[in-house]
Amino acid sequence: MSNTALIVIDVQQSFLHRPFWCEDDVPEFQTNISQLIEACVAKNVPVVRIFHVSSGPFALESGFVKPLDWMPPQHDVVFHKHVHNAFSDTGLDYWLRTHNISKLLITGIRTEQCCETTARVGSDMGYEIDFITDATLTFAMTHPNTGRILSASDIKERTEVVLAGRFANLVSTAGAIKALAAV
């Protein structure tokens, strides 16, 4: 069994009901995350789905806390989280350790929020983290003080800068698939 797991964070229908949802980067994200899931399944690397649960479209009662329609259905386990990282309130750490997982491939929705936070916490907990930025998705944001709009690309670049060499290895989808094929 592999010591690696693919962590798929918040790729859920809830986001379709948020005012900032934008389809511009979805095709590339869809292709990359789907290819990663397929590669992991082919190599018996566990696929861990994380869903954010809170209020509004993120409430279980909303019916939107489920994968986006185009997501491959394969997964080994599902956890619901109520905070930004996938560890604090889910049992994920216990599951990973009981399955001898020491390396995490981080993917999902909101690059700079739940994906980055999970990478930071996971690194602090001793996991080796591969952050696969091109298999994450985010949206433009406006700086609260200056009014400057940061594009999704700007936010992804900033996330890479703060994670690289401290909390995570930066890996492309192609690089992750190549590494999986070598196992």
For every residue of 47-79, DSSP letters joined together read EEEEEE--SGGGSGGGT--SB-TTS----SEEE
pTM over 0.75: yes
Tell me, what's the pLDDT at 65?
98
Q: What is the mean pLDDT of the chain?
A: 97
pLDDT, tens only, 97-124 = 999 999 999 999 999 999 999 999 999 9
Q: What is the mean pLDDT of residues 67-77?
A: 96
Tell me, what's the pLDDT at 2?
79
Q: What is the mean pLDDT of residues 51-70?
A: 98
Tell me, what's the pLDDT at 20?
95
- The alpha carbon dihedral of 126, 127, 130, 136 has a sign of negative
Domain with 106 in it: 4-181
Answer whether residue 77 shows pLDDT above 70.
yes
Answer whether residue 1 shows pLDDT above 60.
no
Tell me, what's the pLDDT at 55?
97
The SS3 call for residue 132 is strand
Answer whether residue 139 shows pLDDT above 70.
yes
Tokens of 124: 């602090």
Tell me, what's the pLDDT at 156?
98
- Helical packing angle, 173-181 and 26-42, nearest 10°: 10
Q: Are 171 and 179 in contact (CB under 8 A)?
A: yes
Tell me, what's the pLDDT at 182?
86
Rounded to 5 degrees, φ, ψ at 47 are -110, 120
Tell me, what's the pLDDT at 111?
97
CATH for 128: 3.40.50.850
Tell me, what's the pLDDT at 72?
94
Q: Are 64 and 24 in contact (CB under 8 A)?
A: no
How many structural domains does the chain have?
1
